[in-house]
Amino acid sequence: MSADIAGLSFVILGLLLLLGYWIRLKVEFFQKYFIPSSVIAGFIGLILGPQVLGALTGEEVPVISNGFFPQEMVEVWKEIPGLFITLIFATIFLGKKIQPVKKVWEVAGPQMAFGQTIAWGQYVVGILVVLLVLVPFFDIHPSAAALIEISFQGGMGTATGLAPTFESIGFSEARDLGVGLATIGLTSGLILGIVILNWGIKHDKTSVMEMPKEKSGLKMKGLFDNMPSAGKLTTRTSAIETLSIHFAFIAAAIFVGFLLLEMLQVLENNTWGAWTDFTLMEHFPLFPLALIGSVIVQKFLDKYSDYPIISHKLIKRINGFALDVMVVSAIASLSLTVIGNYIVPFLLLATAGVAWNLLAFFFIARKILPDHWFERGICDFGQSMGMTALGLLLVRLADPENKSPALEGFAYKQIIFEPIVGGGLFTAASAPLIAQWGLIPVLILTASLGIGWFLFGYFRFGKKANRE
């Protein structure tokens, strides 16, 4: 991959963002339903790329047989979400006062219980669909029961990365099914998330967002009447640019996370990884550890710096920029390939997964989450539909100024959540466990964990809040 192609890929993303923003300014529909410019830009990229325009024209129109974007550019876009999600998590706590562990648990505990309930429930739903329908009527491999959680919670990267595992249990088709389910989850999650957001605002379910009183004007267009500060200068230009020092501290947070990951991998390779064939840390993502890195860097600054060198307002703008770029690239590089031989099982699994996630948001979230249930719930709904990035996008739409504890709780939750499900330990082991143990034992295990987390969340957080 040449530097020219990589650079041009970012230039085109910028132009797509500009086009998406211009369309949002001109089309009231997008303003009315709070659809961000990055989402519009992403779908423009998808339509003009190889998956839609390229597929429609094919070899008959050689000039645009791959759409308007070369395949090399699309490959760059596919890599951007994995890189920028790390940048986003590395910025979340920079410039903020780090709370004590007890306070962190009070903020993150409810979302941990809710997120775990959704994840284990996805296994239960998947196993029931496979056990009652797909095995007896379609003779599908039993390990298909794990695909909802693998694809919806883990995303395309997890589904792709587990290809060798699927092959080892004689179910190589699971890779394509998983990627297809991840595409459905991400696309439907984005659409449903925006629909839910509008429903919540119109029916007064949100505690932060309100419907604009005017049907037009600056607020509807996403502009400010009075421009607020985007940050402040914390260094003199003669020493270093303020943006440069912020970039340096973000890099430091990511590097600390990288060192932690390397240490964990070395530990694994010299302990259980050397004794067994099972390894986890080589597949573990960097972004939760970059979050820990940001906490470590901020604690260091709190202790040794007499001057607030990091402006959290400026950090938020960097975070927002990274999220916009990540959303555009993720949508524009979606794969829309559908596996014809498994279309009915595929649709049944997708429908069951979406239905469970909607049920969890509308009926379980308010039972567990003690406050700001809508803002807290919608980011976990987004993650459960496609990937962490979708959860971040939805919470940003529901709470753009971070007035609720949703983003903070979601971020802290990931430190414990990711090593287990959503691409973690159990996600990696789920398909082989089903193949080896069978559907019923894994159903009992996952149902017990799901019910356990729900009861814990209800009695520890939800019921207590209702009494108060």
Q: Hey, where are the domains in the chain?
A: 3-69, 82-210+239-467
pLDDT at 179: 74
Tell whether the model's pLDDT for residue 451 goes beyond 70.
yes
**What's 64's DSSP letter?**
G
Give the type of residue at 382: G
Please tell me which of 122-131, 256-265, 371-380 the model is most confident about, judged by mean pLDDT. Answer: 122-131
pLDDT at 110: 92
Tokens of residue 201, six digits: 């605002």
**b (16+ CB within 10 A) / e for 202-211:** eeebbbbbee
pTM for the whole thing? Answer: 0.74
Length of the chain: 468
Q: Is 245 exposed, middle or buried (0-12, 13-18, 19+ CB in 10 A)?
A: middle
Q: How far is CA 201 from CA 32, 161, 374, 391, in A?
A: 11, 38, 10, 18
pLDDT at 361: 95
Tell whether the model's pLDDT for residue 238 goes beyond 90.
no
Three-state secondary-structure class, residue 66: strand
Average pLDDT of the chain to the nearest whole number: 84
CA atoms within 13 A on the CB side of 245: 18
pLDDT at 274: 73
pLDDT at 160: 66
Q: How far is CA 366 from CA 301, 355, 370, 398, 466, in A?
A: 37, 17, 7, 16, 10
Tokens of residue 24, six digits: 């949002």
Percent of the chain with pLDDT over 90: 31
pLDDT at 433: 87
Give Dmax over CA atoms of the chain in angstroms.
Answer: 73
In degrees to the nearest 10, what's the CA dihedral of 130, 133, 137, 138? -40
Contact yes or no for 311/231 (Cβ under 8 A):
yes
